[in-house]
Structure 1
Amino acid sequence: MLTHVGFKGYGLSPSQLSASGSFSYSDGKTYTITHGSVIIAAITSCTNTSNPSVMLGAGILAKKAVENGLSVLPYIKTSLSPGSGVVTYYLRESGVVPYLEKLGFNVVGYGCMTCIGNSGPIDDNIANTIEKNELVCCGVLSGNRNFEGRIHPNTRANYLASPLLVIAYALAGTVDIDFETEPLGKRADGSSVFLRDIWPTRSEIQEVENKHVIPGMFKEVYAKIEQGSPSWQALDIPQGKLYGWDPNSTYIKKPPFFDGMTKDLPPIKSISNARCLLLLGDSVTTDHISPAGSIARNSPAARFLASRGLTPREFNSYGSRRGNDAVMSRGTFANIRLVNKLAPRPGPHTAHQPSGDVMDIFDAADRYAKENVPLIAIVGKDYGSGSSRDWAAKGPFLLGIKAVIAESFERIHRSNLVGMGIMPLQFIDGQNADSLGLTGTEVYSIDVPENLVPHQVITVKVDNGKSFQVIARFDTEVDLTYFRNGGILNYMIRKML
């Protein structure tokens, strides 16, 4: 049973703290990385990229860094993706773009990028070195998501920082630095350059901002916003009222949510002889459940895409493929820090029952589906906390999970489970999997009455002769209406018919 590895810390022993690895890069040189080495540094589209003060501050910092002879190690993946074309406009007008580009912070596009996992691949030699030496390497970004593995599967630690500090850590090459006492690098004459030497003053930033951030920029950029790029204008728009599904597309696929749906309401069914796919602890977030970030090279989603003829560089991210349920279902519970007590190690794994075979969660769910075995998940407190994500409910539905038994639910995620026809069941106060002696290897049957009412107490029977009661967390009659329809999507279709 895993006890020392969770959502906080990395379970490293003292002997592992000095681990390092070396690799050859495309420039012909050999580099060494350790725990804390920065692999990705991104000024990414988020609220602070709409703040001219910090964006211009980052530009001025870059200018001073270059003038002092500093550079960013070539293997660190750097990028600048503003939230608006206006940002590029005033950065260019203020003259800082060449210095940002000198450090590798080229404008790569606009909109959600690195913090949603659209960082793209890193060099294979780096990835292999990280994996071989089990290094905790880092991403530093000015976004709003730092869940482990969200930025990239090989950046186990991700830190949120201002655009200025993103550049500072990129220059340092590591997060394991004390800026007060340790230099960022050396000048040509050998003297040390500290962060305080190149950090712009408020008056410097304000002077540039007052001169270059003017209303005319916003008017000029937004006057053309509906035109789009030449590539957008050149798109071939199909005719007709119905979407033409392309069976060969790995991005957009006809979803299976309505497969087998009938016009009339089906009767409520009890859940018989179910297996537990996941036995989880407390504070499992939607970022642990929902597919997010880059697609790991050894994942079920990667194997699926490879079977369609794609190379790892073409895998892209779950966010870009959210219109393909075959990819998204394979990415559900794919977070590298998920701690499933049915698996011997952290990650997207479980043990199929009764065989005990350890496999990826999707592969186990697929095997259960072929065996016509329904699934449940048993979890702890605050299940589904974090930001609301529709795929955190769609994914479990596609895996065949019929019910989630939790100590408590995050409010919106509970509602989303109901919206997908998944039963949210809550342990009686004071009870949980441990107190009931549940190991997750049992067979479970749940008696669901046809005349189910909100907050009804129902019984879960276990094949070892035990049984326990849970509260059906249908909080309103509307919840029950959605559930009886098999979810809100089916309800809306029947209502339209």
Structure 2
Amino acid sequence: MEHRNLDPLGARATLVTPEGEVAYYRLAAIADRIAAGFERLPYTVKVLLENVLRHAGSPPFSTDDVDLVAAWRPGLKEGREFPFLPARVVLQDFTGVPAVVDLAAMRAAMARLGGDPAKANPLVPADLVIDHSVQVDVFGTNIAFRRNVEREYERNRERYALLRWAQQAFRNFRVVPPGTGIVHQVNLEYLASVVTVRGVGEVPVAFPDTLVGTDSHTTMINALGVLGWGVGGIEAEAVLLGQPIYLLMPEIVGLRLVNQPPGGVTATDLVLTVTELLRKVGVVGKFVEVFGPGLRYLSLPDRATISNMAPEMGATAVMFPIDEETLGYLRLTGRSEGHVQLVEAYAKEQGLFRSDDSAEPLFDQVVELDLSTLEPSVAGPRRPQDRVRLSEVRQSLRAAFPDQFPEPQPSEEEAERFDWEGGTVNEEEEPSAPVVPVDPRPKAVDVRLDGRHVELRHGSVVIAAITSCTNTSNPEVMLGAGILAKKAVERGLDVSPAVKTSLAPGSGVVTAYLERAGLLPYLEALRFHLVGYGCTTCIGNSGPLPTPIAQAVQDHELVVVSVLSGNRNFEGRIHPQVRASYLASPPLVVAYAIAGRMDIDLTTEPVGYDPNGEPVYLWEIWPTPQEIREAMEKAIGPELFIERYRDVFTGDEHWRSLPVPEGDLYAWEPDSTYIQEPPFFKDLPLEPPPLADIRGARVLAVLGDSVTTDHISPAGSIPVNSPAGQYLIARGVEPKDFNSYGARRGNHEVMVRGTFANIRLRNRLAGGREGGWTTHFPSSELMTIYEASTRYQAEGVPLLVIAGKEYGSGSSRDWAAKGPMLLGVRATIAESYERIHRSNLVGMGILPLQFLPGESAESLGLTGHEVFDVLGIADGLEPGELLRVRATRPDGSTAEFQVIARVDSATEVEYYRHGGILQYVLRRLLRAE
């Protein structure tokens, strides 16, 4: 699929490498076509140009695509699109399982329609890493890892059996079993090749490693010079089936780094600063490339930390070039010397290798960051882009929750006597200092836990998690956490049992080097025991709080806090009872766990007190650069990576003992509550019906700004009284066995009932209630969104969702589009969209519409009580076309306004016409027979 002997532009050449002779497609051969000049072409454009050059002459690629990409220059606004076919696809299990379910359903549909089901098969190689299903049920003990793995298999046996079937049923499909690591870290440490070699004909072809993944943090791999980004599961499935992604000419922002970071700051401080900076600049939908003299001070893991959080910045990708640091990392992680030399030779030959004397590329825009200005930071309490100086964390908490954290106020008597800014205002009295107010925090709630009395207040830390791919891939911050723990333990500090602590690294290499450095026992002494290898707290798999803690939080309506080394902290994501969450480096996670509260200034106040009652300050236990360097030299080497990944696809005894269903068609179990055949292809006609206007639509939800996919897509725990919980109970599933929404993504019946059911969703049609509620019209009855959807669909009424800015921000969740489609949503109208979510909506046959600049639901007086007609679709939809919307109010009056149809390319129009991308691909497969 990847390579052909077609070479219409005469660019194919051979290169002799230590791995043997390889063919490649020389970019220098078309240098005369490159508008910006070959030497100064951005790295990203070079990779895209190689892709169209290598595929040119094989439909849908053509030499016109080569000319289009070669024409890139700063400021060029080109509306035409070009195809891009990634070399591979990476999936995690939350998004990978529904992708496999869809492929299995596609095979079933192929068979029903008389086609060959085996043709519904991955044509582009795919790796699925099971990393999203482990939950922190057990913590603070040496048996936590074993118990959590056992519980994971108990919950997910049906899902894992499906994946075992997929392993044998599909070609080009590999599964990395549970307990191995987080998909992005496994990708960085093992799966990525940087330069791929695949055999076609007598001479294999070398080309840049590229990919898309079903997790928005796929961008972490950009640190290795590998172009890749997150897409929805729907788009990824199309790539698996050989469909290229269609791109518009990329807009590229150069991030220029200068100077050297000061001592004491971490990669986390750097990435939170970059996230804040690029959010302010505005890089949504753009590519970012990092360059400049400051690059030499960033290790590969530092780069990975930055690239990982591209979605939080809003960028499509954050690219780093291949250079000596890249080669060093490949050697460190156990890649063969021959392959490392191949990467170097190919990158230099193609102009993809950066050296200190390389010409700086041209960019559409350049943003500069002075690394010497970095300072210790966290981000929160609700968004990753809201960076907070370490000294200002208490103020940020007070600002977010003013009722729970009132500012200190003097009494009336004090106000009369004193100038609160600094002394007396009564000239007849002697000057005196201001009276220090009484601590405004509420009295502590006494909780008995593990035989001890612990105190809970507003601001108490109840979850402290070293978790997530963002930071656990970085040895400097992980060893730093271990060193801080060692110093803290040696000073006699401890962590309250009220804090749910966890260590969930991105791969087993992390625990191996922590053990070799002699630091793991100190983390365990502070109850940071290994709980699993995978995404845990960062995606809401934090598990339940201890019952006495949960009860106290509920009874006293406490605003409690989580602190985690993750990348997402949207409200309600980490745990439903945790109102505030802060992203922090692993050492700071340990420090806040010791402090036990977030309303503290760790730059001036003690972290805790030693057994003698002496204060212990953060600066006393903070790891020095020298200590971290010595630990890395002692503990990390290629043999750790080689050993860990030697049998990466084999799995443990749990995995090996699972049954392996056979056959080209999956045997659906009608009673399964995990895996059901989705209805996307049932009763599918061979030809799509003509496009039609949307008439008589009602509004299911009116939402505000920054509504995330966490608000839309079912995620986290399944409440007993929710429609999804009641569905499971009706099928004999006890609440203790509910598992998470993420684990049940293979059952559309569960997922559609949990769509828009987030407990923090604020729907203006919900009568002031938070959560998955709405008002049904014209009855004016308040009911769950799922119940209203069921009634509307029985009445034959199409549905709309109205939203504000950045609709669908956050993780690339395919169920944030699949769920609304199954609820009957035909279109959304928003002020702006997150890139992946807009694409996913089109991929599921939902029409994303955008208010004209300066307009909104508020400015147009829309309440959601109206009946809507979307007109102009039937006339023949065009990319970016203006459509007319007519809203009829309850009193019979009407308002008309225009919206932009956010189908951004001719290909997306085709996807929408077919009812979705999967239907489009299925019909193409049937026509090809």
Q: TM-score, normalised by structure 1?
A: 0.91
CA 1:128 to 1:207, structure 2 compared with 1: closer, same or farther past 3 Å?
same
Name 1:490's counterpart in structure 2: 919
Cα distance, 1:128 vs. partner?
A: 3.1
Cα distance, 1:492 vs. partner?
A: 1.3
Task: Choose the corresponding residue for 1:400, options 795, 820, 824.
Answer: 824
**Secondary structure of 1:320 counterpart:** helix
Is 1:80 aligned with 2:503? Answer: yes
Q: Which digits, 9 at most, give the CA deviation of each residue in 1:84-121, with x for residues without a partner?
A: 11111111122222221222211111122211111112
CA 1:207 to 1:429, structure 2 compared with 1: closer, same or farther past 3 Å?
closer
Q: Which amino acid aligns with 1:209?
A: M
Q: Which digits, 9 at most, give the CA deviation of each residue in 1:292-341, with x for residues without a partner?
A: 33334554333333434444443333222222222222332233332221
Name 1:426's counterpart in structure 2: 850
Is 1:27 aligned with 2:456? Answer: no
Paired residues for 1:120-199 under 5 Å: 120-199=543-622
Moved more, 71-80 or 187-196: 187-196
CA 1:226 to 1:408, structure 2 compared with 1: closer, same or farther past 3 Å?
closer
Task: Choose the corresponding residue for 1:238, options 661, 671, 679.
Answer: 661
Moved more, 329-338 or 10-19: 10-19
Is 1:465 aligned with 2:893? Answer: yes
Name 1:476's counterpart in structure 2: 905
CA 1:19 to 1:225, structure 2 compared with 1: closer, same or farther past 3 Å?
same
CA distance in 2 between counterparts of 1:19 and 1:188 reads: 27
CA distance in 1 between counterparts of 2:863 and 2:750 reads: 30
Q: Which amino acid aligns with 2:912?
A: F
Paired residues for 1:343-354 under 5 Å: 343=766, 344-354=768-778
**Secondary structure of 1:169 counterpart:** helix
CA contact (8 A) 1:461 1:468 kept: yes
Question: What runs of 5+ residues in structure 2 fail to find an aligned partner?
Answer: 1-381, 387-398, 407-439
Cα distance, 1:396 vs. partner?
A: 1.2
Cα distance, 1:169 vs. partner?
A: 0.8
CA 1:53 to 1:118, structure 2 compared with 1: closer, same or farther past 3 Å?
same
CA 1:20 to 1:335, structure 2 compared with 1: closer, same or farther past 3 Å?
farther
Q: Which digits, 9 at most, give the CA deviation of each residue in 1:408-467, with x for residues without a partner?
A: 333332222111111122234443222322211122233354332210423324153313
Bigger Rg, which one: 2
CA distance in 2 between counterparts of 1:283 and 1:117 reads: 19
Name 2:85's counterpart in structure 1: none
Number of residue pairs matched by the alignment: 492
Q: Which amino acid aligns with 1:144?
A: N
CA 1:222 to 1:43, structure 2 compared with 1: closer, same or farther past 3 Å?
same
Moved more, 259-268 or 300-309: 300-309
Q: Which amino acid aligns with 2:685?
A: T
Is 1:51 aligned with 2:443? Answer: no
CA 1:81 to 1:231, structure 2 compared with 1: closer, same or farther past 3 Å?
same
Cα distance, 1:19 vs. partner?
A: 5.1
Name 1:272's counterpart in structure 2: 695
Is 1:217 aligned with 2:640? Answer: yes
CA distance in 2 between counterparts of 1:23 and 1:307 reads: 39
Paired residues for 1:34-45 under 5 Å: 34-45=457-468
Name 1:377's counterpart in structure 2: 801
CA distance in 2 between counterparts of 1:150 and 1:36 reads: 18
Q: Which amino acid aligns with 2:898?
A: V
Moved more, 237-246 or 425-434: 425-434
Cα distance, 1:15 vs. partner?
A: 8.3
Is 1:91 aligned with 2:514? Answer: yes
CA contact (8 A) 1:253 1:323 kept: yes
Is 1:207 aligned with 2:630? Answer: yes
CA distance in 2 between counterparts of 1:189 and 1:147 reads: 40
Q: Which amino acid aligns with 2:521?
A: P
Question: What runs of 5+ residues in structure 1 fail to find an aligned partner?
Answer: 1-5
Name 2:746's counterpart in structure 1: 323
Cα distance, 1:206 vs. partner?
A: 1.6
CA distance in 2 between counterparts of 1:304 and 1:25 reads: 36
Cα distance, 1:12 vs. partner?
A: 4.8
Task: Choose the corresponding residue for 1:417, options 841, 855, 863.
Answer: 841
Name 1:250's counterpart in structure 2: 673
Q: Which amino acid aligns with 1:146?
A: N
CA contact (8 A) 1:25 1:75 kept: no
CA distance in 2 between counterparts of 1:327 and 1:396 reads: 13
**Secondary structure of 1:125 counterpart:** helix
Q: Which amino acid aligns with 1:458?
A: R
CA distance in 2 between counterparts of 1:433 and 1:418 reads: 22
CA distance in 2 between counterparts of 1:69 and 1:320 reads: 41
CA distance in 2 between counterparts of 1:104 and 1:217 reads: 25
CA 1:367 to 1:33, structure 2 compared with 1: closer, same or farther past 3 Å?
farther
Cα distance, 1:168 vs. partner?
A: 0.7
**Secondary structure of 2:465 counterpart:** strand
Q: Supply the RMSD in Å over aligned alpha carbons.
A: 2.5
**Secondary structure of 1:139 counterpart:** strand
CA contact (8 A) 1:19 1:133 kept: no
Is 1:355 aligned with 2:779? Answer: yes
CA 1:477 to 1:451, structure 2 compared with 1: closer, same or farther past 3 Å?
farther
Q: Which amino acid aligns with 2:683?
A: G
Q: Which amino acid aligns with 1:249?
A: S
CA distance in 1 between counterparts of 2:480 and 2:401 reads: 37
**Secondary structure of 2:744 counterpart:** coil
Cα distance, 1:43 vs. partner?
A: 0.7
CA 1:10 to 1:204, structure 2 compared with 1: closer, same or farther past 3 Å?
closer
CA 1:44 to 1:11, structure 2 compared with 1: closer, same or farther past 3 Å?
closer
CA 1:225 to 1:476, structure 2 compared with 1: closer, same or farther past 3 Å?
closer
Cα distance, 1:25 vs. partner?
A: 4.3
CA distance in 2 between counterparts of 1:23 and 1:302 reads: 32
Name 1:3's counterpart in structure 2: none
**Secondary structure of 1:452 counterpart:** coil
CA distance in 2 between counterparts of 1:156 and 1:62 reads: 27
Q: Which digits, 9 at most, give the CA deviation of each residue in 1:163-204, with x for residues without a partner?
A: 111111111111111113322222222222222222222212
Moved more, 8-17 or 47-56: 8-17
CA distance in 1 between counterparts of 2:400 and 2:753 reads: 25
Q: Which has the higher helix share?
A: 2
CA 1:74 to 1:304, structure 2 compared with 1: closer, same or farther past 3 Å?
farther
Name 1:450's counterpart in structure 2: 874
Cα distance, 1:403 vs. partner?
A: 1.0
Moved more, 412-421 or 142-151: 412-421
CA distance in 2 between counterparts of 1:93 and 1:286 reads: 40
CA contact (8 A) 1:148 1:336 kept: no
Q: TM-score, normalised by structure 2?
A: 0.50
Cα distance, 1:205 vs. partner?
A: 1.9
CA distance in 2 between counterparts of 1:197 and 1:298 reads: 49
Q: Which digits, 9 at most, give the CA deviation of each residue in 1:358-377, with x for residues without a partner?
A: 33322332332333322111
User: Identity rate of aligned residues, in percent?
Assistant: 56
Q: Which amino acid aligns with 2:456?
A: I
CA contact (8 A) 1:275 1:444 kept: yes
Q: Which amino acid aligns with 2:581?
A: N
CA 1:122 to 1:53, structure 2 compared with 1: closer, same or farther past 3 Å?
same
Name 1:13's counterpart in structure 2: 403
Cα distance, 1:82 vs. partner?
A: 0.9
Name 2:91's counterpart in structure 1: none
Name 1:367's counterpart in structure 2: 791
CA distance in 2 between counterparts of 1:475 and 1:482 reads: 11
